[in-house]
Amino acid sequence: MSDTSPDGGDEDGEVDLGISLETVATVVDHIRAIQEGEDSNEVDTEDEDPDDDGDEEDFDEETLAAFIEDLNEDEQAALVALAWVGRGDYEPEEWAEAVRLAKERSAAGDTSSYLLGMDMAGDLLAEGLAAFGLAVEEIER
């Protein structure tokens, strides 16, 4: 019945995950693109317009890894915790615990390798957002 809860929700239904939703959406988009590219040995560039927003096409695995590693500790932990929530390891009500453990995990190795090594990481992050009532497709980029 409180207006603010420890899991980050408030009276407006807004969720403070410790990372911007735009950043999460960007990571989701690029992880999905990279992992889809790994699934098919052919890179489907024929349908892409080379003049169409080249920034997104330049996000390869190395660039995405650098982007993730440039995030602060809280943001990196939030990404890992979101993936864990999306995988069902934690519930949204356990957010603080998931973030705490994600920070401990981060100290053991780099976050980008961990996330990029997860099967379906983009989908897990999207599912993590969905657990908080957020749709990655509706986030402005």
Kindly state whether residue 78 falls inside one of the protein's structural domains.
yes
| 2, burial (CB in 10 Å: exposed 0-12, middle 13-18, buried 19+) | exposed
Mean pLDDT value of segment 8-26: 76
Give the domain range for residue 131: 21-42+57-138
Kindly state whether residue 10 falls inside one of the protein's structural domains.
no
Kindly state whether residue 94 falls inside one of the protein's structural domains.
yes
Kindly state whether residue 1 falls inside one of the protein's structural domains.
no
Kindly state whether residue 76 falls inside one of the protein's structural domains.
yes
**CA-closest candidate to residue 121, choices 47, 39, 20, 5:** 39
The total number of structural domains in the chain stands at 1
Kindly state whether residue 80 falls inside one of the protein's structural domains.
yes
- What sign for the dihedral angle of Cα 46, 56, 126, 73? positive
pLDDT tens digits, 71-121? 999 999 999 999 999 999 999 999 999 999 999 998 878 899 999 999 999
Q: Name the amino acid, one letter, at 64.
A: L
Predicted model pTM: 0.78
Per DSSP, 20 falls in state -
Kindly state whether residue 12 falls inside one of the protein's structural domains.
no
